[in-house]
Structure 1
Amino acid sequence: MDSKASSLLFIAFLCLISTSTAFNITRILAQYPEFASFNDLLSQSGLAQEMNSRQTITVLALDNGSIDGLSGRPLDIAKRILSAHVILDYYDQIKLSKLQKASTIVTTLYQASGVAEERQGFLNISRTAEGIKFGSAMKGAPLSASLVKSVYSQPYNISVLQVSEPIETPGIENMAPPPPPGTAAVPKKTPAPAPSTKTPPAAPPTAKTPAKSPAKSPSKAPAPSKEGPSTPPAPSEGPSTPTEAPAEGPVADEAPAVAPAKAASSRMHVAGATVVIGLFACIMGF
């Protein structure tokens, strides 16, 4: 019982590994030296890792002589072109020979990238008098690549088919790289500051209103000046109070002068009274 249980666990483990990594495109192509340049370009661009994460694909491979034109291009452009050579379905020579339609549209890995425009992410597989041909599903694109042979197949996970030349996809080389996810929310946020910049212009009206209030205050200032002349007593009273104030000053100064005058007169009265009394006393004595 223990041996059976352990064997079942081992089989389950193998099944788990096989489902998680159905194939390795780098190891498969390493067996064929004529596809060494194609294999290297898949690894350098990171496309091999994306292909290995899939469960079912068909690779339209290019030999060393056919891929020379892609080797000199920028790596991101080469990746776009090669991703259009990976069909997200299983096709081998048998399945291709049994196609019912003259033309079949299939989906590629480039379509799954989310940056394809119009029908750039689709391929057209056509049965012609010259054999099976491949071309872009874009309008007016030529069927330039021909099926050469089957290189490798692992039904129904991966099939590697050799094609005669790269598949031309109109516009794929002129596309700008997709922006990172953070830059599509920054452009929408950019208009938001615009209202904030417009709010400062609203402030000048408020600044002008205080400017008008001071303008009115000076206009009111002359009003009292008009009332001044209309009420002349106010200015007359003004001088009256100052005249009284100085009047007290001189009075205080004259007080000592008045005091001696009164003292002199009183002395004169006393002297006169004394003289009168003296005369009266003399008269009474006689």
Structure 2
Amino acid sequence: MSPSLVRFASVLFSCCVLLSSTATAFNITRLLDQYPDFKTFNDLLTQTKVNQQINQRQTITILTVSDDKMSEVSSKPVEAVKKILSSHVILDYYDTQKLKNLKTGTSVLTTLLQTTGTASSQQGFLNVTLKDDKIVFSSAVKNPRRNVMLTRSVAAQPFNISVLEVSGPIIVPGLDAAPTGPVAAPAPMKAHAPAPAPHKKKRVAKSPEAETLEAEAPSDDALSPDDAPASFRTEADAPAADETPDKKSRAPSKSSAAGKGFVLPGVGLIVMLMLVASFLTSQ
């Protein structure tokens, strides 16, 4: 094989390796596994799934914190921890030298928290300041709780990923305000409702005719012909066609019933008197 062909094969192999590393990006979990001092930070990245968001990026900087400084963060609810860790991920490549080359004063860096849609005001940004040859990080929110300093460079893959250790967690105002435990649901307000009305037996609506029949219904005693309902009377007892009887008083009054009861005895008395008179006259 000629030397030129060997060189071509070598260059081709190097290009394939470079393309492969670029396509697979990096795995932050495996990278931090090589540094036992950051085990808590690494575990929390996995629990909150922030590691998955980091691995999807091609250019990124992680500000990691040693285990002995993570107790303040690990004691918080998962959602609060996720936001805090996201604020430690800068969406650009910064190593020690690049930070020192920043202009004098304060520069604003964008973090992963800004892309989540949960940041308000300036919570998704960090300030980096060069002060007395020291590099200081703080939240871009007004009156940040704490400033942390760059301690050392942990790992770097130029222009892809940089891992920097800082002196402590960056506490962004408002992110750690979440409760540390489940919040009990508030008791429902008691409305001053009026006392319930006493239970009443449901009354079935009745037609006027049914009410009239109930009113005219006889007692358990024997019914007399005169007290019988209108439907059982004879034609002689029915009202005349031109009369419009009152629905509430269809039954005849006691006085009229009594008068009808003496019609036949009166006629018989008259007949008897006439026979007596005829007999006396014939004598």
**Which TM-score applies when normalising by structure 2?**
0.57
Aligned-residue offset at 1:17: 2.5
| Distance in 2 between residues matched to 1:109 and 1:138, nearest whole Å | 15
**Count of paired positions:** 178
Aligned-residue offset at 1:174: 3.5
The correspondence of residues 98-177 of structure 1 with structure 2, limited to 5 A, is 98-129=101-132, 131-174=134-177
| Distance in 1 between residues matched to 2:167 and 2:6, nearest whole Å | 53
| Distance in 2 between residues matched to 1:52 and 1:4, nearest whole Å | 34
Cα RMSD after superposing both structures: 2.7
| Distance in 1 between residues matched to 2:13 and 2:134, nearest whole Å | 46
Aligned-residue offset at 1:161: 0.6
Aligned-residue offset at 1:165: 0.8
The secondary structure found in structure 2 opposite 1:65 is: helix
| Distance in 1 between residues matched to 2:99 and 2:15, nearest whole Å | 34
Structure 2 residues not aligned, in runs of 5+? 180-240, 243-283
Aligned-residue offset at 1:15: 3.7
Question: Hey, what does 1:55 align to over in structure 2?
Answer: 58
| Distance in 1 between residues matched to 2:178 and 2:38, nearest whole Å | 27
* Residue 92 (1) aligns with residue 95 (2): yes
User: Rg larger in 1 or in 2?
Assistant: 1
Aligned-residue offset at 1:98: 1.1
* 1:18 maps to which of 21, 29, 38: 21
Aligned-residue offset at 1:3: 9.4
Moved over 6 A (4+): 2-9
Paired-residue identity, %: 46
* 1:66 maps to which of 65, 69, 84: 69
Q: Which amino acid aligns with 2:74?
A: S
Instruction: Say whether the 8 Å CA contact 1:38–1:63 is kept in structure 2.
Output: yes
Q: Which amino acid aligns with 1:45?
A: T
The secondary structure found in structure 1 opposite 2:109 is: strand
Question: Hey, what does 1:190 align to over in structure 2?
Answer: none
| Distance in 1 between residues matched to 2:19 and 2:171, nearest whole Å | 38
Instruction: Say whether the 8 Å CA contact 1:103–1:124 is kept in structure 2.
Output: yes
Structure 1 residues not aligned, in runs of 5+? 177-237, 240-286
**Which TM-score applies when normalising by structure 1?**
0.57
Aligned-residue offset at 1:7: 7.4
Q: 1:140 to 1:86 in 2, by over 3 A?
A: same
Q: Which amino acid aligns with 1:154?
A: Q
Aligned-residue offset at 1:143: 4.9
Aligned-residue offset at 1:173: 2.7
